[in-house]
């Protein structure tokens, strides 16, 4: 709870530590639900893949049932990972993706694809006010320094003058969104009447070699770069088309 200390001091804020895989029996009226549950960092979601799948499937189902009971608006945090290793570039919302269904990333990719399916079916069947946002790589304040994703890894390595760990040859690309901009996107998405998925991301694409150099320059670090094996199924490139947003 260290990230929410300032909120805990507010009388209008209540914190329940609850696993969404179990039914949450909440008695007061709910207007809006943001389902942000599920680790998003590959080392975290791969640590317990079955739990990741349960969160994205059973957990999402429980959230939708809670929303249905309250007729609340409900938003699902989906991911650019549903595009897998994309064969079209940049990725727009009409692309169905290129996803390995049985690999080590599948618990997250396929789990989130299933949560999108559940959302659309609750929308069609019950006219529930659902929203789906496909979030591209996000970074920023309050990130866990052991998160394992690239920006926090590189910054921590650079300021400790440790080697920057580039996986593969560093030619793979990502497009990084700052957390405050994502939050604006989440709030705006909740307010509109659009039910189909919306990409939320920053279309400025960068490869991991250039990202490492940028962080070395900004931190004035003298760290070296090392090249380590590329994780299996690591997408080669990713850049959102955000015209819809
Ligand atoms: N990556 C890297 N060094 C690290 C961590 C990640 O080169 O210390 C690479 C990783 O292989 C991927 C990219 O950076 O190509 C983004 O990885 P991250 O885990 O941040 O997010 P995701 O793979 O989910 O997009």
Q: 125 C-alpha to center of ligand 1: Å?
A: 38
Going by alpha carbons, the residue nearest to atom 10 of ligand 1 is: 167
Taking 90 as the threshold, does the pLDDT of residue 244 lie above it? yes
Residues of the chain with pLDDT > 70, as a percent, come to 100
**Stretch 11-31: mean pLDDT:** 94
Q: How confident is the model at residue 23 (pLDDT cuts 50, 70, 90)?
A: very high
Catalytic residues: 108
Please state, in angstroms and rounded to a whole number, the distance separating the CA atoms of residues 87 and 192: 30
Pocket test for ligand 1, best of 174, 238, 240 (most atoms within 8 A of CB): 174
User: Is the CB of 234 within 6 Å of ligand 1?
Assistant: yes
Within 10 Å of residue 35's Cβ, how many Cβ atoms?
24
Residue 207's pLDDT band (cuts 50, 70, 90): very high
pLDDT at residue number 1: 80
For tokens 């949560």, what's the residue? 115
Name the average pLDDT for the chain. 97
pLDDT, tens only, 125-184 = 999 999 999 999 999 999 999 999 999 999 999 999 999 999 999 999 999 999 999 999
In this predicted model, what pLDDT tens digit does every residue of 48-59 receive, in sequence order? 999 999 999 999
- State whether the beta carbon of 189 lies less than 6 angstroms from ligand 1: no
Judge whether 94 and 54 are in contact, CB under 8 Å: no
Give the number of the atom of ligand 1 that is nearest the alpha carbon of residue 40. 24
Q: What is the secondary structure of the chain as a DSSP string? A: -GGGHHHHTSTT-------TTS-----S--SEEEE--S--SHHHHHHSHHHHHHIIIIIHHHHHHHHHHHT-EEEEEEEGGGGBS-SSSSB-TT---B--TTSTTHHHHHHHHHHHHHHHHHHHHH---EEEEEE--EE-TT--TT--SHHHHHHHHHHTTPPEEEETTS--EEE-EEHHHHHHHHHHHHHS---S-EEES---EEEHHHHHHHHHHHHT--PPEEEEPPPTT--S---B--S--
Confidence class for position 64, pLDDT limits 50, 70, 90: very high
* Sequential DSSP letters for 61-130: HHHHHHHHHHT-EEEEEEEGGGGBS-SSSSB-TT---B--TTSTTHHHHHHHHHHHHHHHHHHHHH---E
Q: Is the CB of 80 under 6 A from ligand 1?
A: no
Residue 26 CA to chain centroid, in angstroms? 26
Q: How far is the CA of 219 from the centre of ligand 1 (A)?
A: 19
Would you tell me how many other CB atoms lie within 10 Å of the CB of residue 102? Answer: 6
Asked if pLDDT for residue 72 goes beyond 90, the answer is: yes
Residues forming a β-bridge with 199 = 134
Residue 211 contacts by C-beta under 8 Å, 6 or more apart in sequence?
A: 150, 151, 154, 174, 176
Question: Residue of the nearest CA to atom 13 in ligand 1?
Answer: 150
What percentage of the chain exceeds 90 in pLDDT? 97
């Amino acid at each position: 709870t260290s990230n929410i200390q300032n909120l805990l001091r507010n009388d209008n804020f209540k914190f329940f530590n609850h696993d969404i895989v179990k039914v949450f029996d909440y008695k007061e009226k709910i207007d809006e639900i943001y389902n942000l549950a599920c680790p998003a960092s590959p080392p975290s979601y791969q640590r317990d893949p079955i739990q990741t799948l349960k969160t994205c499937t059973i957990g999402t189902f429980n959230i939708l049932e809670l929303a249905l009971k309250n007729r609340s608006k409900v938003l699902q945090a989906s991911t650019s990972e549903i595009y897998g290793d994309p064969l079209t570039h940049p990725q727009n919302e009409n692309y169905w993706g290129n996803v390995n269904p049985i690999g080590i990333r599948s618990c997250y990719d396929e789990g989130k694809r299933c949560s999108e399916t559940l959302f659309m079916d609750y929308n069609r069947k019950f006219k529930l006010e659902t929203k789906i946002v496909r979030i591209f790589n996000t970074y920023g304040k309050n990130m866990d320094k052991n998160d394992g994703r690239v920006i926090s890894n590189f910054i921590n390595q650079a300021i400790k003058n440790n080697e920057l760990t580039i996986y593969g040859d560093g030619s793979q690309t990502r497009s990084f969104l700052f957390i405050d901009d994502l939050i604006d996107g989440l709030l705006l998405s909740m307010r509109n009447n659009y039910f189909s998925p919306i990409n939320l991301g920053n279309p400025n694409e960068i490869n991991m070699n250039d990202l490492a150099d940028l962080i070395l320059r900004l931190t004035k670090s003298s760290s070296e770069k090392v090249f380590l094996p590329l994780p299996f199924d690591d997408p080669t490139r990713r850049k959102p088309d955000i015209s819809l947003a």
